[in-house]
Structure 1
Amino acid sequence: MSDIEAALATAKSFLLQSPPGELNDVYADLVTLVAPLLPGGQSQLDEALAPALRQYAAEQLTVVDLPEGKGKTLLTPVSIVEGMEDAEGRHVAPKAGSTFAWDALKATASALSPLSPSPDADTEALRSALDKLLAAYTANHYAEGASAVFALPDPAYPAPTRAPATALAEAEAGAGGTAAETETETETEAADAAAETADAAQEALPREGVETANGEAAPPPAEEAAAEAQAQAQVEAQDATAEGGDAAMEEATPAPAAAEEGTAEVAAPQEEDQAQEEPEQLPGRPSRLFALYLVGNKYNPTNYWTGRWRSTYTLDWAKGTLEGTAQVNIHYYEQGNVQLSTTLKSSTPLAASPPAEAVIAALKASESSLQRQLGETYAALSDTSFRGLRRALPKTRSKVDWDKAASYRLGQQLGGGGAAGAQ
């Protein structure tokens, strides 16, 4: 690994460990330290760290103000629209029913566009109910809190490969082709039968003519019989075609060649334009799996501390299970650098297909339990770990009066006694 690659790898590592609310400060320091080492300067650094910025924004549940006054949403690992590899990726804003472009370098959202395909109606109704209740809970319990609920891909509902309308059109086209082939075969068979009947009649009847009462020669009987037989065969062929349905009758009726060619010339471009203007749309995919995210941020740089609480819950609505993970990061940096980073997990069983209110009630109970665990941990640290680092009192078990420290005989007071104390 070259020196430049090593420097960029180290910069990425520092960036991903940025404390809550201090990403811009860390990035500014990296520009000062690393950019002079790169041939391309800050532009090369920006390009190299763009993936780390996107990763950090999603992992830390960054709160985003949507353009056009569409409210707020969260950047999360499941909100990312796949296939976006540049600095301006796209994320889903489920509450707004849109996707938006996210510039990782500028930390801004732009270019709203509707979700495509539109969400499944039943899935969206359940997701929306969970979203509203979770937003109310987050606003009541977390400072500067925000939340979002996303529908996840559900293995119980496979992803569609094409729209039903396309399949129906193909089926109709196939049926039409089969009907046309059948009608063509019927017409061919009828013509062959008429020809055979005419030949047989011509061979059975005599060829010489018969004189009429006026002495005029009548047409040869064989020719009359052949003409009648051919006409009868055509009538039978038309009757057989009529039994095939109205569609067969319409196609069996001849149309002027010029009219057919003109219609074909006009219709073909219209069909091509319609195919270009109406791309295939997949239907919304149903789901009963949901991801619930909430985040609470508290920044107090004037007193040298910042903190963030992140919670992620996965709900299997059909089975009635709620799995949760809470991550807490706190940074104190007044004349030092102390960080707390902890992860707590929970699992709550629910009834199958629970109402949205029951889900949020279980989530609230889980959050309260996690906070009690943190309180108990802090108490244990204060009583044991911190006291092991430094004693609260000297061995005399009494506080030192530092105003009188100059008059103390420290050796006597601390048990050294006599000459040892004088020395």
Structure 2
Amino acid sequence: MNAAERLGAASKFLLQSPPGEINDVLNDVRNIISDDESLQEGVLPALREYNLAQFITADVPGHNHHSIISAAARVVKADQEEGENIDRFWDPRSRTSFRFDHLSLETSEPEPYEPDAESEPFRSALETSTLSYLGAHYHGGVASVFPAPQSTTRFFIQIVANKYNPSNFWSGRWRSEYILDLEEKQLKGKIQVNVHYYEQGNVQLSTTHDADLPLPPMITPSNTSSASKVLALIEAEEGKYQASLSDAYAEMGEKTFKGLRRALPMTRSKLDWDKVLGYKLGAELTSGRGGFGAS
């Protein structure tokens, strides 16, 4: 396998990293590449793709909150090609743009960033309602609301919540994104859940749920109080999905996982563990007597 093939394999491993474990995967693939400089340069596109897709969060310089790193948060300068690797993002909540290092996950070079004046009132109202919903349902979660480029009636509502528990060998991430189109009267969403259990094994859950919710007629761009009604729709949809996940877990525990193992051993009868211990003790005593007599 040549160097390019090794970098390609390393990039695929990174893109499949479970929540919160990409640094562990990166350290492992260092053994494949054996060249830190080439590794950092070669896997940077994969790291960027991973961070954007996974809604990695970042400290907003000069502010005491986090913002989501995503495609909707990217800042494209006038002299920049659309296909270029973009390392600058913005946080609408603080009206700040910043550079983001996809390897270290650190932010730098903050600059003021003014949002579109026409769409900002409704976006800000959406943000307020989203943060209220976040505080009620997602402990330690992060949410960002972005306006769609060159539109005053389309918005991206993004939510991410991470839970890492390496001491107990599990990690998980909830991601949800909703595209609100006030002109088309539509709210389209996607919920993605990834959970990894790795105590004496390797079990992963990866599930996606799509939602297409029609908006009531009273939700209009000029009515900022409509924002709370949008979040009420999201709350109802996510509540139903969480309930369905709980039902699925219960069914797996009662049916699926039980079907993966025998209820009884090959003898079709339960083991008598007291007898098993007796057999073992008897064998050891017999072995001990035989050894003593032979000497």
Instruction: Give the TM-score range, shorter chain.
Output: 0.7 to 0.9
Which residue of structure 1 lines up, in the alignment, with residue 188 of structure 2? 323
Which residue of structure 1 lines up, in the alignment, with residue 63 of structure 2? 69
Cα deviation for residue 148 of structure 1 reads 0.4
Structure 2 counterpart of 1:378, one-letter code? Y
Give yes or no for the alignment of 1:402 onto 2:273. Answer: yes
Checking the alignment, whether the CA contact within 8 Å between 1:320 and 1:353 is kept in structure 2 is no
Checking the alignment, whether the CA contact within 8 Å between 2:59 and 2:67 is kept in structure 1 is yes
Cα deviation for residue 372 of structure 1 reads 1.6
Checking the alignment, whether the CA contact within 8 Å between 1:321 and 1:350 is kept in structure 2 is yes
2:136 to 121, 137, 140: 140
Which residue of structure 2 lines up, in the alignment, with residue 49 of structure 1? 43
Deviations 1:191-243 (A, max 9, x none): xxxxxxxxxxxxxxxxxxxxxxxxxxxxxxxxxxxxxxxxxxxxxxxxxxxxx
Aligned-partner Cα distance in 1 for 2:217–2:170: 43
Q: How does 1:58-137 map to 2 (within 5 A)?
A: 58-69=52-63, 71-82=65-76, 83=80, 89-115=87-113, 118-137=114-133
Cα deviation for residue 86 of structure 1 reads 7.4
Aligned-partner Cα distance in 2 for 1:384–1:24: 35
Aligned-partner Cα distance in 1 for 2:277–2:90: 69
Checking the alignment, whether the CA contact within 8 Å between 1:288 and 1:317 is kept in structure 2 is yes
Q: Give the secondary structure class of the aligned counterpart of 2:252.
A: helix
Which residue of structure 1 lines up, in the alignment, with residue 234 of structure 2? 363
Checking the alignment, whether the CA contact within 8 Å between 2:174 and 2:191 is kept in structure 1 is yes
Deviations 1:321-369 (A, max 9, x none): 1111111111111111111111111222111351001000000001011
Higher relative contact order, structure no. (Cα contacts within 8 Å, ≥ 6 residues apart): 1
Which residue of structure 2 lines up, in the alignment, with residue 190 of structure 1? none
Q: Give the secondary structure class of the aligned counterpart of 2:93.
A: coil
Deviations 1:103-145 (A, max 9, x none): 1122101111122xx3333310111111111112112212320
Structure 2 counterpart of 1:23, one-letter code? I
Aligned-partner Cα distance in 2 for 1:53–1:87: 11
Q: Give the secondary structure class of the aligned counterpart of 2:257.
A: helix
Does the C-alpha gap of structure 1 residues 87 and 103 become closer, same or farther in structure 2, counting only changes over 3 Å?
farther
Name which one, 1 or 2, has greater alpha-carbon Rg: 1
| TM-score normalised to structure 1 length | 0.60
Does the C-alpha gap of structure 1 residues 397 and 136 become closer, same or farther in structure 2, counting only changes over 3 Å?
farther
Checking the alignment, whether the CA contact within 8 Å between 1:87 and 1:104 is kept in structure 2 is no
- RMSD of aligned Cα (Å): 2.3
Which residue of structure 2 lines up, in the alignment, with residue 254 of structure 1? none
Which residue of structure 2 lines up, in the alignment, with residue 11 of structure 1? 10
Structure 2 counterpart of 1:359, one-letter code? V
Aligned-partner Cα distance in 2 for 1:340–1:386: 14
Cα deviation for residue 3 of structure 1 reads 1.3
Structure 2 counterpart of 1:24, one-letter code? N
Q: How does 1:90-239 map to 2 (within 5 A)?
A: 90-115=88-113, 118-153=114-149
Q: Give the secondary structure class of the aligned counterpart of 1:68.
A: coil
Structure 2 counterpart of 1:10, one-letter code? A
Checking the alignment, whether the CA contact within 8 Å between 1:319 and 1:351 is kept in structure 2 is no
Structure 1 counterpart of 2:250, one-letter code? A
Structure 2 counterpart of 1:133, one-letter code? S
Deviations 1:5-42 (A, max 9, x none): 111110000001111011111111112321x2xxxx21
Cα deviation for residue 393 of structure 1 reads 4.5
Q: How does 1:292-331 map to 2 (within 5 A)?
A: 292-331=157-196
Identity %: 41
Deviations 1:62-120 (A, max 9, x none): 111111125211001211223487777101211111211011122101111122xx333
Q: Give the secondary structure class of the aligned counterpart of 1:122.
A: coil
Structure 2 counterpart of 1:383, one-letter code? E
Which residue of structure 2 lines up, in the alignment, with residue 391 of structure 1? 262
Give runs of ≥4 in structure 1 deviating > 6 Å: 84-88, 395-398
Aligned-partner Cα distance in 1 for 2:60–2:9: 33
Tell me the matched-pair count: 269
Does the C-alpha gap of structure 1 residues 318 and 109 become closer, same or farther in structure 2, counting only changes over 3 Å?
same
Does the C-alpha gap of structure 1 residues 407 and 43 become closer, same or farther in structure 2, counting only changes over 3 Å?
closer
Aligned-partner Cα distance in 2 for 1:365–1:44: 48
Cα deviation for residue 396 of structure 1 reads 9.2
Q: Give the secondary structure class of the aligned counterpart of 1:69.
A: coil
